[in-house]
Amino acid sequence: MRIAVLHGPNLNLLGERRPEKYGTATLAEISADVDQTAARFGASAVHFQSNHEGALVDWVHAHRNEIEAIVINPAGLTPVAFSLLDAIRDTGHPFAVVHISQWHALDGRERNDIFATSAAVYLTGAGWHGYALAIEALVFRARPQRELGRDVEVDVVRD
């Protein structure tokens, strides 16, 4: 299973930008953790970050036939990136949304996440570890539990 991991605006500055909210792990460190998690489940990850919605859309279009699932942190694009959301939905692949912080509680402003209702998996506030959790959840959704050597039932529930 090949999983795309997409990072939106300002995430290239993780580790430097507001470490009190987003932690001290860099994007490279997070990507390495995601790669290890994916490998543990017999999957692989391909990473892309851009500060521009159009570049993310172009990447999804160019790679849609090379991937089977998507993990995305749309960051500041979260309430407005309808073209990115459409591109992701148009792949037909399951996708997970990851927000490092509590997206709805940031800066005391009301926030709308247009990705939330379409996501197969939605993780917010788990810090950078949310990416690895999203990989695990997508693999669990895609593969029978016996194939993974597990005897557990996994059901992702959305409100």
Task: Point out the residues that are catalytic.
Answer: 22, 99
Contact 11, 73 (CB under 8 A): yes
72: annotated binding-site residue?
A: no
Burial 42-59 (b: 16+ CB within 10 A, else e): ebebbbbbbbebeebbeb
Q: Using alpha carbons, select from 73, 70, 66, 62 the residue that is nearest to residue 126.
A: 73
Tally the residues of the chain. 159
Cα 35 versus chain centre, distance: 13
Residue 86, annotated as binding a ligand:
yes
What one-letter code names the amino acid at 48?
F
- What is the distance between the alpha carbons of residues 105 and 70, in angstroms, rounded to a whole number? 25
Find out whether 58 is annotated in a ligand binding site: no
Please report, in range form, the residues annotated as the binding site for substrate: 73, 86, 100-101
